Structure 1
């Protein structure tokens, strides 16, 4: 069938526009992330000085009552007053926090704008080829990043979770950059093996499940970082990096709730692929590399949820399984599609 080159060109333009909108959102989110880190640091310093002041006052009162020396106050009051003056006041910190919230809202708006243009790029690609745009690896990256961004935007509606945006936008931009560069394929009809009504059903289901699974895996990765650097006890360079992140409990909750959705959806996609395989190749399962890695990924998600519900595994052990599932997903997306030859070798790179 003929390809509408005008629509294909518009799709490519929308793709580039999407990338730069997400890039702008990333820059603003990093700026907001740094500002929020500074606000939290200043608040904790004020709290630390206030606690020292209370201890000093208590020690001074006790010393006066017992007739002891007043040198036990823990330091020179003039030095403390100087440090306190260097720190922002509570009113100024509240103002800075309000500005940070506005930046977070701006990031959220830019992300939704990027998602709209992202969807336009996908739809135009499909209209240009008169098929569902799942025919090669470039289009699959376009689809799975789109679903991941939609899932993330829905999950991050809550104000306290928007500090996670730099951690999601960075890998998504990397995927789009690689997909639009190394994996790009001209708009063209799909190979005969993909001309089936099962094609959009199977691929879209697997893509949605995989996208939600990616959000879950990223949340588990951040949970492990937060466990290493507990909230309020951060230290060193990495402590400053993770300071604006939510608590470990919140991150674990995000990972768990999204994995609950990812497991059945991704599993349904694998089952639909097996039904399509029986119709196309005369067997439900043949241990093709793509089939095998998809099944392994699903098993890892199931193992994570089982471990998460098992006493003694609810800490970092379960989270590591979810991170392993994320790694398996990425391995299946790139290595299996590009390097390993199989019945699912439709990357469109030749």
Structure 2
């Protein structure tokens, strides 16, 4: 099938535009994080407002008085703009993948450029889902400013990965190589993409958990930085729930890959470097879930295991696909 070069060009333009939008969103997130109130100050302010409005006022309303709404602080406005830019970036980013698919007449994850782009999109969508769920729940262990501040720390690796995918790993739009021309690419690779994106978010949450836990153990260390993060319990909960929800998807991706391997190469498992590293990542995340449920390993130890799992996933994504020669060497470089 021939490639529609017009749609391919539009896809590349949308990809570059999404990177610019994500960079703007990242800077806005960091702006809110830097200039917003600390968690303690924000909660004190909320307590004052609640106590002030708790009882019935005996003061009679003044006829003709016009109540002027208080102006939102600059930090909150930056956070709102950051979320809006993130949603816009997701729409443009998703359009770039759709246009790539229409241009080539196939699923838009047939090489490392497209695969990396899809993982980043899954990570950002996962972050937006967590953010809106947390804000709707109205938990007291994290203010909206603190929650939105996490977006900058997720957008940083996303922007770096997108930049790397769009430069070093970029591949011209084209048909799938014969080895990938199977319906299993829709099932196996899509599951791997979703799992990798969500696990990227979980790993970032665990890194921030370690920083917040260090601040809580010694408030004199990283006082300004640590106080602006959600509580360690909130970060630990985000990382755990994201991992426990997506772990079955990663398990399914490995099983689907084994079934595809049997159909393509005549064996379910051959200890190919990609297969081996994927299985190691599965073991690490299974160990994290077990550690998180074990009293003596909760907290810092479990967080380090989760971070190690993310390191294995990144190693599997780049080093195994690009450097190590194997049956899964489909980097398109």
**Matches of residues 86-235 of structure 1 in structure 2 within 5 Å?**
98-157=73-132, 158=135, 159=144, 160-230=146-216, 234-235=219-220
Shift of 1:210: 1.2
Q: Which ranges in structure 2 are unaligned for 5 or more consecutive residues?
A: 46-69, 136-143
Residues 1:24 and 2:9 aligned together: no
> Is this contact kept in 1: 2:112–2:331, CA < 8 A?
yes
Q: Deviations over 1:123-180 (max 9, x none)?
A: 0001111000111100000110011110011111222421101110111000001110
Change (3 A) 1:220 1:97: farther
Residues 1:259 and 2:243 aligned together: yes
Shift of 1:41: 8.8
Question: How many residue pairs get matched?
Answer: 298
Match of 1:322 among 299, 306, 328: 306
Residues 1:311 and 2:286 aligned together: no
**Matches of residues 70-85 of structure 1 in structure 2 within 5 Å?**
none
Change (3 A) 1:174 1:96: farther
> Is this contact kept in 2: 1:212–1:261, CA < 8 A?
no
Partner of 1:40: 38
Q: Deviations over 1:41-94 (max 9, x none)?
A: 9949x99xxxxxxxxxxxxxxxxxxxxxxxxxxxxxxxxxxxxxxxxxxxxxxx
Change (3 A) 1:18 1:333: same
Question: Is the radius of gyration larger for structure 1 or structure 2?
Answer: 1
Q: Deviations over 1:191-225 (max 9, x none)?
A: 10000011111000011111111111111111111
Question: Take 1:227 and 1:282, find their aligned partners in 2: how far apart are those partners?
Answer: 49
| DSSP 3-state at the match of 1:312 | helix
Q: Which ranges in structure 1 are unaligned for 5 or more consecutive residues?
A: 48-94
Shift of 1:283: 0.5
Question: Take 2:152 and 2:123, find their aligned partners in 1: how far apart are those partners?
Answer: 14
| DSSP 3-state at the match of 2:295 | coil
Q: What root-mean-square deviation, in Å, do the aligned CA atoms of Structure 1 and Structure 2 show?
A: 2.0
Q: Does 290-299 or 222-231 show the bigger shift?
A: 222-231
| DSSP 3-state at the match of 1:156 | helix
Question: Take 1:284 and 1:240, find their aligned partners in 2: how far apart are those partners?
Answer: 52
> Is this contact kept in 1: 2:31–2:75, CA < 8 A?
no
Question: Take 2:83 and 2:287, find their aligned partners in 1: how far apart are those partners?
Answer: 33
Shift of 1:97: 6.7
Shift of 1:29: 1.1
Partner of 2:266: 282
State the TM-score, normalizing by the size of structure 2: 0.86
> Is this contact kept in 1: 2:261–2:267, CA < 8 A?
yes
> Is this contact kept in 2: 1:8–1:187, CA < 8 A?
yes
